[in-house]
Structure 1
Amino acid sequence: MMFASNGVVAAGWFEGGVFAAILVLLGIAGLIFMMVLGFFALRYGKLWFQAYMSVADVSPISLIRMHFTKVNPNVIVQAKVMSAQAGLSISRKNGISTRRLEAHYLAGGNVMNVIHAIIAAHRAEIPLDFDQAAAIDLAGRDVLEAVQTSVYPKVIDCPDPARSGKTTLSAITKNGIELRVRTRVTVRTNLEQLIGGATEDTVIARVGEAIISSIGSADTHFRVLENPDMITRVVLSRGLDAQTAFEIVSIDIADIDVGENIGARLQSDQAEADTRVAQAQAERRRADAIAEEQQMRALVASNKSALVLAEAEVPMAMAEAFRAGRITASMDDEE
C-alpha cells in the first residue's frame, strides 16, 4: 500500500512538473510574441495611424509584410494616403491597392511618380488608370512628364539646334531659290501610344522632311513668302504624328529667309563643267592629230629610206647583168 501511494504521489509530481514547464514555455512564447508586437507597433504604429485617419486602407499585416519583403512602407503609405485624399479608387479588387503598389515597387518602378501622374490626369480629366501608368513607368518613360505634356503642350524647334547643330531648314523652290525656314511644332503626349511610340526625334525628322518637300513643290519662292501657311496646311494634312508618342497640335513658321540662288549657281557650275569637258575633248582631238601627224612623218621617212635602198641596188643589178652577159657592148654600138 505504501508503494502504491508513493507511485501515485510521484506521478502527480511528474504531471505537475510537465504542466509547469508547459506554462513556462507558453509564458516565454507569449513574452516573445508581445515583444515582437511591441517592436512592430513602435516602428510602424505611426504609419498605420496615419493611414487609418486618412482612410487609406493599410492594414498592420501589410506593414509587417513590407518589412520582410524589403518594401519601403513610408512610400506605400504616402501613396495610399495621396490616392485616398485625391478621390482615387483604392479598392483592393480593382483600385490602387496596397498589393499593387508593393508589386510595382518590387518591380523597380517609381511609385510616387506614378501616383502623382494619376492624380494630375484625374484632375485634368485625362483617362489614365494605374496599370497603364505603371506600364509606362516600367517602360522607362517619365509618366508624370507625359501627363504634364498632355495638359500643357510642348513646343519643339524644328530643326533643334541641340540635336543637329542647325538653326534653319534649307529648301529650294522650283525656280532655284533657297529658302531657310525655322519652325516650331506644338505637341502633346498621346498616352495611348506612349509605349512603343516614336520619340521627338521622329517627329522633328518627319516635319522637316514635309516642309522641305512642300517648299520644293512651290513654283517660285514668292508664293511661299506670300503664304507661309500653305506649308503648314500641307504638312498637317499628312498625319505626321502617326505611330508616335505625340499628337501634333500645330506647326508654325517662325522665320523664313531667302538664301542663295542655287539654280543659277548649279547652272553656272554645269556650264563650267561642260566647258571643261569640251576643252578636254578638244585637247584629246589635238593630241590625236599630232600623233597621227607624227605617224605620217615616220611613214614618209620609212618610204624614203626604202627608196634609197632601192636606188642603191640598181648599180649592183647592172653590174650583175654585165657579168652575166645579159647586157653587152653591142648595145652601145647600136646606139
Structure 2
Amino acid sequence: MDISAPIIIAALIVFFILVFISVIPVGMWISAVASGVKIGIFSLVGMKLRRVRPESIVRPMIKATKAGLSVKINELEAHYLAGGNVDSVVNALIAAERAGINLSFEQASAIDLAGRDVFEAVKMSVTPKVIETPQIAAVAKDGIELLVKARVTVRTNINQLIGGAGESTVLARVGEGIVTTVGSANTHSSVLENPDDISKVVLEKGLDSGTAYEIISIDIADIDIGRNIGANLQSLQAEANTKIAQAKAEERRAMAVALEQEMKAEVVKAKAEVVKAEAEVPKALSQALASGNMGAIDYYKLQNVQADTKMKNDIGNGVMEFVDNKKEK
C-alpha cells in the first residue's frame, strides 16, 4: 500500500483547517458566546470581508454586555467603519453608566467622531480638572501693575461638548475677567488684601457660557507686584509735553527770525526811499532858484541849518559811543 496518499490527505486536511481558522475567527466566536454575546460565526466572517477587525468589535461588545449596556453589533461596526474609536466609546458609556451620567451611544459616538476623547470627557465629568492660567498682567486705578496667576477647576459639560469652546477660550475669558476686576479696583493694595474678591467677581460673570466645560471654582494662586505703570505713563507724558513745548518755542523763534528779516527788508526799502527822496532835493532846489521861489540868501540859510543839524548829530553819536565804551569797561 502506498503511504504517500494518507500523507497527502492529512496535509490537505491540515491546510483546510488552517485556512478555516484564518478566515473564520473561531476563537473570537467562542469567547463571544462564552461571554453571553449573541453573534453568529458568519457575522464574524462578514466583518473580515468588510475589512473590519473582529476583535475591535467583539471585545468592546463583551465589555458592554458584562457592564449591562444595551449596545448593538451593527452600531459598533458602523462606528468603526466611520473611523471612530469603538473601545473608547464603550469605555465612556460604562464610566457614564457607573457615574449616573446620562450619555447615549449616539452622543458618545458623535463626540468621538468630532475628534474629542469621549472617555477622557466622562472622566472629567466625574473628576474635575484644574487648569492653571499663565501670569496675567493687570493694572489697578492707582497705576500699579499686578501679576496674577489663577487655578480654574472645570468639569466637562457633556451636552455642550460638541461645538463648545475648549480650554483656551476658558483661560482667555478668565484672564479678561481678572484684568477687568483688577482694573476696577481703586488701589492695588485693596486687591492684595482681598484676592478672593477677584474669584467671586470673575465667577459671577458666567465665563463658561458656550464652552464645553462648567467652571466650578476660580482660585487665585499667586499675586506679584509689577511695574508702576502710572508713573511711567506720567513720565512719558511729561517728556512728550516737553517736546511739544520745545517745538512750539522753535516755531515762535523761527517766526521771530522771519519777522526780523522782514523788518530789515522794510528798513532797507525805507532807506532806499529816503535816498531817492534826497536825490530829488538838489533838483527841487535848482528849480526853486530858477523859478525865483528861493533866493540865494535863502539857499545859504538852508545850508547853514543842514550843517548845524549834522554837527549836532555827530556830537550826539560821539557821546553815545563814549557812554557805551564806559559801560563795557
Task: Report the TM-score, using the length of structure 1 for normalisation.
Answer: 0.79
Distance 1:334 1:197 in 2: 115
Matches within 5 A, 1:127-276: 127-159=102-134, 168-276=135-243
Q: Residue 65 of structure 1 aligns with which residue?
A: 46
Please say which of residues 186-195 and 121-130 is displaced more in the overlay: 121-130
Give the superposition deviation at 1:194. 0.6
Q: Residue 302 of structure 1 aligns with which residue?
A: 269
Give the superposition deviation at 1:123. 2.1
Q: Is the 8 A contact 2:24 2:44 kept in 1?
A: no
- 1:278 counterpart (235, 238, 245): 245
Distance 1:137 1:313 in 2: 112
Task: Report the TM-score, using the length of structure 2 for normalisation.
Answer: 0.80
Distance 1:236 1:230 in 2: 10
Whichever residue aligns with residue 141 of structure 1, its letter is R
Secondary structure, counterpart of 2:291 in structure 1 = coil
Distance 2:266 2:297 in 1: 44
Secondary structure, counterpart of 2:146 in structure 1 = strand
Give the superposition deviation at 1:313. 3.4
- 2:36 counterpart (49, 55, 70): 55
Question: Which 4+ stretches in 1 moved above 6 angstroms?
Answer: none
Distance 1:239 1:47 in 2: 51
Secondary structure, counterpart of 2:207 in structure 1 = coil
Secondary structure, counterpart of 1:70 in structure 2 = coil
Give the superposition deviation at 1:199. 0.8
What fraction of aligned residue pairs are identical, expressed as a percent?
Answer: 54
Cα distance per residue 1:151-205 (max 9 Å; x no partner): 221111112xxxxxxxx11111111111111111111111110100001110000
Q: CA RMSD in A?
A: 2.4
Give the superposition deviation at 1:314. 3.3
Q: Residue 98 of structure 1 aligns with which residue?
A: 73
- 1:88 counterpart (55, 66, 69): 69
Distance 1:273 1:329 in 2: 73
Whichever residue aligns with residue 228 of structure 1, its letter is P
Secondary structure, counterpart of 2:58 in structure 1 = helix
Distance 2:294 2:233 in 1: 91
Whichever residue aligns with residue 188 of structure 1, its letter is R
Q: Which consecutive unaligned segments of at least 5 residues does structure 2 have? A: 1-15, 300-329
Give the superposition deviation at 1:120. 1.8
Please say which of residues 244-253 and 286-295 is displaced more in the overlay: 286-295
Change over 3 Å in CA distance of 1:333–1:51 after alignment to 2: closer
Cα distance per residue 1:93-117 (max 9 Å; x no partner): xxx1111111101111111111122
Q: Which consecutive unaligned segments of at least 5 residues does structure 1 have? A: 1-34, 90-95, 160-167
Give the superposition deviation at 1:269. 2.1
